[in-house]
């Protein structure tokens, strides 16, 4: 389908047009945009200057979506754009990228050297340069030459076209990584700024953005004029957006503050008002879901979802199923995390497991703030456990209080439930579930964890004369969490740990998942490559005599397949009593792993 943009009475409309400004496929997947921002060094001030690009985004029909700002520092030699310190909004893509401004800074956040590119002479080509952005993506950018570009905001000649190849992204899923990886084209007009962007994602999908209008405070020959007061309005869209996003950038001397205006809730996540646990009355004849309000007096500062499958037998012997939320990205907008948790509790692999087991599902809503990105709360890392004050202090203990309150609620409504729980998690939430029993084995009967980076926690202080600090091991567990490891109780927790044979979602390359010291320890002492790491992990678990079944699924990457869900359910059923009972997992056909090569 060919689409173009036109402005009619101040409102953007989409219409068919063979001479398109904006070419969009029938179905685009989740979006990662990025724009290389460049200023000819001759136009830069002799000393460093600092401005902020403040941005707001709304839908085509005017509903608020997002708000944020980006600090930009220029010197004689280069332009630096910092990571977004303040963005919040609504995201429908696999990762919470709210606005075009985010796509500008995330893959290429730091150094964008003009001198590395050289002069942009007519018809000339410049030397390419590379850098590393968010999600550990490697970006190689080349100036391809000037073009004439027609967009709703005007027709511009001599526009500089930059091609950026993005590879090696490390997302929380293969879908997220495939969305970040790809080829991005940006067109920058001298004296105007960004006029068009086309992002060809590695999964075959496309996202585009075009300039609708601009207003500049003065003249400049820069490719992104940064005089205070400059203003640009863009439209961008992908297949996950029912309407185009209209986004306005304004250059200011300081960041704009203030909360995000109300925004629409995603269509697939109905609003569920928080209720006090004591007010809940259950009707087990049909499916029910509750959003239980935070209760600091009982020890938890965030809400949680409690899902009950249809026709659940109240007298049956059961364990409450717990899966912690995993948003897939950091965000300072709590609603982003709440919506992700609601999806998990409403329609997901976790609800399917709960229905098959005939047991309630508890999903907490723990935030993962962008402004303290080192604390990877959704994986329960050491930075999270070291938070000494505020609502995020010891979310592991908060989870226990949520569990106890939910169990009391169920029993008050004559639903039988045991004291110990089943836990499941995948990717970051799998890592959380894998580490949680080390801290609190008395709470968990059985745990199933998938996609754990090929290295579940080693419940030992040393291995082969190497000290293993948390979260690689437990050498400093007492110092980090104030807890003495209870080996006897830990060995009563049945574990099912599964990895896809083709999974290469290596989080040791991400500094939010592992600090540099711990990542180096893992890669040097346990394994730089994930297959070797997984082999050693399985060997160590067997050597320690742990009640753990480690499963490798052939032909599978970083994903949860239907048969894996069935296996987890089977494992929980087999391990609802005492003792450890392994199962016979599903066998997929073998598929050889092949490294994806990027054409140069």
Write the pLDDT tens digit of every residue in 542-555: 999 999 999 999 99
The predicted-structure confidence for 509-521, as pLDDT tens digits, reads as follows 888 899 999 999 9
- Asked if residue 268 is part of any domain, the answer here is no
170, 240: one domain: yes
The predicted structure's pLDDT at residue 543: 95
Separation between Cα atoms, residue 200 and residue 32, nearest integer Å: 10
Tell me: do 109 and 167 sit in the same domain: yes
The answer, yes or no, to whether residue 46 has pLDDT greater than 60, is no
pLDDT of 281 = 92
The CA distance from 244 to 262, in Å, is 18
Do residues 206 and 323 share a domain?
no
Which of 2-11, 163-172, 470-479 is the most confident on average? 470-479
pLDDT tens digits, 319-346: 999 999 999 888 878 888 999 999 999 9
pLDDT at residue 101 in the model: 77
Indicate the pLDDT class of residue 129, thresholds 50, 70 and 90.
Answer: low
CA of residue 384 relative to chain centroid, distance: 17
Hey, what are 104's tokens? 């500008």
Based on the domain organization, do 409 and 470 belong to the same domain? Answer: yes
Q: Per-residue confidence at 115, pLDDT binned at 50, 70, 90?
A: very low
| pLDDT level of residue 291 (50, 70, 90 thresholds) | very high
Closest CA to 110 of 130, 125, 128: 130
Q: What is the pLDDT of residue 553?
A: 97
Asked whether the predicted pLDDT for residue 280 surpasses 70, the reply is yes
More confident residue, 84 or 511: 511
Mark whether 240 and 292 lie in a shared domain. no
pTM listed for this prediction? 0.64
The answer to whether residue 407 sits within a structural domain is: yes
**Could you report the per-residue pLDDT of 370-422, keeping only the tens digit for each?**
778 889 999 999 999 999 999 999 999 999 999 999 999 999 999 999 999 99
For residue 131, the model assigns a pLDDT of 58
Domain total for the chain? 2
- Pair (106, 202) in one structural domain: yes
Residues 153 and 245 in one domain: yes
- Domain membership of residue 356 (yes or no) is yes
Residue 208 has pLDDT above 60, yes or no: yes
Q: Look at residue 93 and tell me if it is in a domain.
A: yes
Q: Which of 460, 461, 418 is nearest to 443 (CA)?
A: 418
Decide if 169 is inside a domain.
Answer: yes
Q: Which domain holds residue 59?
A: 2-252
Tokens of 349: 């692999």
- Answer whether residue 258 is part of any domain: no
From the number of C-beta atoms within 10 Å of its C-beta (0-12, 13-18, 19+), residue 81 rates as: buried
Q: Are residues 101 and 175 in the same domain?
A: yes
Q: Are residues 208 and 165 part of one domain?
A: yes
Cα 174 from Cα 499, distance rounded (Å): 13
- Asked if residue 499 belongs to a domain, the reply is yes
- Name the strand (E) or helix (H) holding 399: helix 395-412
Q: Does the structure show a pLDDT above 70 at 121?
A: no
Domain boundary among 252, 284, 310: 252
344 and 242 both lie in a single domain: no
Task: Kindly state whether residues 131 and 62 are assigned to the same domain.
Answer: yes
Q: Is residue 592 part of a domain?
A: no
* Residue 6: Cβ within 10 Å count: 13
Mean pLDDT of the chain: 81
Tokens of residue 486, six digits: 């209870």
DSSP, res 481: H
Tell me the per-residue pLDDT of 420-437, one tens digit each, with 9 for 90 and over: 999 999 999 999 999 999
Q: Indicate if 285 and 161 belong to the same structural domain.
A: no
**DSSP per position, 143-205:** EEEEEEEEETTEEEEEEEEEEEEEE----SSHHHHHHHSEEEEEEEETTTEEEEEEEEETTS-
Q: Which of 184, 219, 252 is the last residue of a domain?
A: 252
pLDDT tens profile 446-482: 999 999 999 999 999 999 999 999 999 999 999 999 9
């Amino acid at each position: 389908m060919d689409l173009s943009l036109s402005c009619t009475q101040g409102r953007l409309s989409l219409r068919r047009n063979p001479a398109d400004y904006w070419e969009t496929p029938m179905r685009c997947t989740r979006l990662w945009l990025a724009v290389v921002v460049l200023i000819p060094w001759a136009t830069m001030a002799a000393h460093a200057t600092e401005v902020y690009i403040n941005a707001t985004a709304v839908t085509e029909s005017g509903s608020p979506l997002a708000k944020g700002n980006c600090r930009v520092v220029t010197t004689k030699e280069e332009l630096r754009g910092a990571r977004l310190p303040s963005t919040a909004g609504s995201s429908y893509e696999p990762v919470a990228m709210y606005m075009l401004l985010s796509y500008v800074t995330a893959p290429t956040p730091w150094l964008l050297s003009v001198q590395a590119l050289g002069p942009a002479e007519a018809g000339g080509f410049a030397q390419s340069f590379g850098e590393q952005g968010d999600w550990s993506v490697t970006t190689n950018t080349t100036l391809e030459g000037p073009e004439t570009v027609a967009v709703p905001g005007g027709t511009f000649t001599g526009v500089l076209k930059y091609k950026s190849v993005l590879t090696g992204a490390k997302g929380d899923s293969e879908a997220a990584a495939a969305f970040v990886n790809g080829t991005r084209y940006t067109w920058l007009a001298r004296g105007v700024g960004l006029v068009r962007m086309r992002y060809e994602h590695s999964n075959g999908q496309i996202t585009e953005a075009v300039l609708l209008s601009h207003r500049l405070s003065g003249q400049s020959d820069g490719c992104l004029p940064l005089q205070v007061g400059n203003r640009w309005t863009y439209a961008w869209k992908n297949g996950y957006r029912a309407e185009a996003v209209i986004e306005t950038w304004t250059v200011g001397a300081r960041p704009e503050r203030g909360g995000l205006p109300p925004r629409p809730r995603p269509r697939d996540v109905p609003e569920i008002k928080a209720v006090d646990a004591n007010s809940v009355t259950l009707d087990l004849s049909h499916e029910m879901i509750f959003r239980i309000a935070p209760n600091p007096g009982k020890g938890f500062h965030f809400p949680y979802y409690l899902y009950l499958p249809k026709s659940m037998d109240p007298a049956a012997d059961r364990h409450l199923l717990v899966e912690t939320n995993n948003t897939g990205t950091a965000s300072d907008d709590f609603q982003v995390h709440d919506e992700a948790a609601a999806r998990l509790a409403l329609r997901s692999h976790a609800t399917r497991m709960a229905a098959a087991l005939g047991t309630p599902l508890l999903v907490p809503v723990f935030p993962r703030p962008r402004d303290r990105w080192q604390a990877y709360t959704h994986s329960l890392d050491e930075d999270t456990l070291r938070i000494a004050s505020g609502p995020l202090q010891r979310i592991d203990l908060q989870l226990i209080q949520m569990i106890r309150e939910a169990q009391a609620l169920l029993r008050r409504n004559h639903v039988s439930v045991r004291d110990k729980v089943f836990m499941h998690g995948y990717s970051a939430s799998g890592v959380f579930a894998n580490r949680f029993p080390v801290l609190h084995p008395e709470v968990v009967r059985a745990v199933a964890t998938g996609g754990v980076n090929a290295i579940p926690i080693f419940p030992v202080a040393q291995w082969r004369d190497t000290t293993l600090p948390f979260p690689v091991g437990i050498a400093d567990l007492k110092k980090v969490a104030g807890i003495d490891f209870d080996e006897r109780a830990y060995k009563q927790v049945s574990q099912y740990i599964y990895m896809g044979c083709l999974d290469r979602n290596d989080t040791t390359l991400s500094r939010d998942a592992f600090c540099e010291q711990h990542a180096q320890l893992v890669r040097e002492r346990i394994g730089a490559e994930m297959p070797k790491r997984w082999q050693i992990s399985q060997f160590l678990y067997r050597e320690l005599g742990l009640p753990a079944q480690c499963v490798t699924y052939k032909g599978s990457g970083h994903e949860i397949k239907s048969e894996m869900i069935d296996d987890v359910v089977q494992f929980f059923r087999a391990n609802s009593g005492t003792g450890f009972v392994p199962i016979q997992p599903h066998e997929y056909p073998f598929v050889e792993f092949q490294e994806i090569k990027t054409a140069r």
